[in-house]
Amino acid sequence: MSFPLLTATAALPALGAVATAAVPAARRTAAKWLALAASLATLALAITVLVRFDPDGARYQLTESHPWIADFGVRYELGVDGIAVALIALTALLIPFIVLAGWHDADPLETGSRRWRPTQGFFALILAVEAMVIISFEATDVFVFYIFFEAMLIPMYFLIGGFGDRAHEHGEEAAATQRSYAAVKFLLYNLVGGLLMLAAVIGLYVVAGNFSLQEIAEARANGSLHMATSTERWLFLGFFFAFAVKAPLWPLHTWLPNAMQESTAPVAVLITAVVDKVGTFAMLRFCLQLFPEASKWATPVILVLALISIVYGALLAVGQRDIKRLVAYASISHFGFIVMGIFAMTSQGQSGATLYMVNHGISTAALMLVAGFLISRRGSRLIADYGGVQKVAPVLAGTFLIGGLATLSLPGLAPFVSEFLVLVGTFTRYPAIGIIATFGIVLAALYVLVLYQRTMTGPVKPEVSAMPDLRARELVVVAPLIVLLILLGVYPKPVTDIVNPAVKQTMSDVHQTDPKPEVEAAK
């Protein structure tokens, strides 16, 4: 029997979470090192998955299938395609940096009558989220996917509500109230989406008689499973609504700014660079494969929603006074690009969307983690409380600038390639949508450069005059992300080679081909 590599990749951080939580409170440093070791071991397994995956091989590889709830046709089925492999690698890569960046974020601190939760709980919850996200990328049984899609809400709720940001202009009591509000809002939005998806999952079982993604997709392709048009559309909407909340897509996005504002910077990265990717990934894996005709039926409306997300998110980012809320609205704009690329129904758009998921994860992690280091020094999230930082902390300012330039998709940095592919893929089929979406790029340049100007340039404010530059641990966190942004900006081929075959198969699922160019190439 072959080694269950996919199960091990998800089980290792889960076991690490249990072990970390079991560390005595007095040994909090040991808990940190244990969590870091578990995350690095998971990264090693994710690299093994990446190496063993053959982009030109079968659609789903390293598969595992075992009976689970036989009476209801539920099987423990795992398998990865190129898109899943890329996102598993992204998740496993970011978690060690998240652990290192949050090294002191949950240290016990007395503030009046309040006390922060035990340090080991913070790191155990991060590892638990990692385990659930990875198995969500691996699951090819719809019921198994649903369980972990919903279960990850529990540790995220406690990370937001119990280990929130300490920087608050109105004091600890106000901060605690805001954290609770953000955590409950996050949970309610996602639970509503999950309940609608549960109804759709049950409906899918009634129609198909099982939960296997591969069996249902094959039955639909060969005509042995027929869904009435209205049934397919209702089931699609149940799935898509849940994924749109997670993504997040306008107008279901309003939980994200609150959650990112009240979270520590590492948890904010965990939300937008890791957890939210499950929503856009699931649109590709489940919506398009299970409901191809309904996906095409809903495409015009979804493209309009994505376009609103792009422009609306960017406009609100321009007017933000809070650094974290600015990054949150920027992410809403970027997720609009990802959803637009998915539903443009072109190979360039879907390849760009998948690449965008990876590149957005890296660029947002770089920008938000440096912002977190900045906020921890000053004790404020407000942009107006900074000024002249580049004169006293040039390395911090330089890495902040690179993260910001990646966020606005500067050519030569990783997000540019993916954003370009999304726009080209959209323009070839929906030129008006593609043209309007380019305004998001202009607005991104505005909010990023204004943010840098107001925080890093100008006279040095007295409150930042003694601000230290990045320390060794912080450089270890940021430097690899900056290197990746440059490498993937110059040479994205390693990622595109992995995802392109899976994109072609997804295009085949929805019976779409790329539009022919209006002008033939010269012979």
72-90, pLDDT tens digit by residue? 778 889 999 999 999 999 9
Report yes or no on 519 lying in a domain. no
Report yes or no on 518 lying in a domain. no
CA 72 to chain centre: 32
Q: The whole model's pTM is what?
A: 0.89
Return the percentage of the chain with pLDDT > 70, whole number.
Answer: 94
Residues 116, 59 contacting (CB under 8 angstroms): no
Range in 57-61, 155-159, 266-270 the model is least confident about: 57-61
DSSP state of 398: H
The angle that helices 347-378 and 472-490 make with each other, rounded to 10 degrees, is 160
Radius of gyration over every alpha carbon of the chain, rounded to an integer in angstroms: 22
Q: Is the pLDDT of residue 308 over 90?
A: yes
In degrees and rounded to multiples of 5, residue 206 shows phi and psi of: -60, -40
* Residue whose C-alpha is closest to residue 253's, from 307, 331, 149, 178: 331
Q: Is the pLDDT of residue 1 over 60?
A: no
Instruction: Give the chain's domain count.
Output: 1
Report yes or no on 126 lying in a domain. yes
* Residue whose C-alpha is closest to residue 124's, from 87, 95, 82, 146: 95
* Residue whose C-alpha is closest to residue 15's, from 110, 116, 106, 128: 128
Q: Is the pLDDT of residue 173 over 70?
A: no
Range in 170-179, 315-324, 325-334 the model is least confident about: 170-179
Residues 25, 41 contacting (CB under 8 angstroms): no
Report yes or no on 516 lying in a domain. no
Q: Is the pLDDT of residue 17 over 70?
A: yes
Q: What domain range includes position 136? A: 5-509
Q: pLDDT band for 241, please (50, 70, 90 cuts).
A: very high
Residues 42, 9 contacting (CB under 8 angstroms): yes
Q: Is the pLDDT of residue 386 over 90?
A: no
Quick one: 495 exposed, middle or buried, by C-beta within 10 A (0-12, 13-18, 19+)? buried
Report yes or no on 450 lying in a domain. yes
pLDDT, position 170: 54
Q: List the beta bridge partners of residue 322.
A: 382
Quick one: 135 exposed, middle or buried, by C-beta within 10 A (0-12, 13-18, 19+)? buried
* Residue whose C-alpha is closest to residue 90's, from 286, 348, 364, 325: 364
pLDDT, position 521: 57
Q: What is the mean pLDDT of residues 306-333?
A: 91
- Other C-beta atoms lying within 10 Å of the C-beta of residue 230: 9
Identify the helix (H) or strand (E) that includes residue 440: helix 439-456
pLDDT, position 232: 87
Distance, CA of 405 to CA of 464 (rounded, Å): 23
Distance, CA of 458 to CA of 388 (rounded, Å): 5
* 484-494 per-position pLDDT tens digit: 999 999 999 98
Please give the structure tokens belonging to residue 343: 């539903």
Of 521 and 107, the structure prediction assigns the larger pLDDT to: 107
* 415-444 per-position pLDDT tens digit: 999 999 999 989 988 889 989 999 888 898
pLDDT, position 177: 75
pLDDT, position 162: 80
Distance, CA of 505 to CA of 141 (rounded, Å): 19
Tokens 């539903």, residue located: 343
Return the percentage of the chain with pLDDT > 90, whole number.
Answer: 43
pLDDT, position 247: 86
Report yes or no on 237 lying in a domain. yes
Report yes or no on 212 lying in a domain. yes
**Mean pLDDT for the chain?**
87
Cα-based distances in Å from 4 to 49, 328, 345, 369: 11, 37, 34, 34
Helix (H, G, I), strand (E, B) or coil at 164: strand
* Residue whose C-alpha is closest to residue 289's, from 425, 140, 150: 140
DSSP state of 272: I
Distance, CA of 255 to CA of 261 (rounded, Å): 10
Report yes or no on 520 lying in a domain. no
Q: Which amino acid is at 196?
A: L
pLDDT, position 166: 61
Cα 36–Cα 21–Cα 29 angle in degrees, nearest 5: 50
pLDDT, position 219: 81
Residues 420, 438 contacting (CB under 8 angstroms): no
- HEC profile for 200-223? HHHHHHHHHCCCEHHHHHHHHHHC
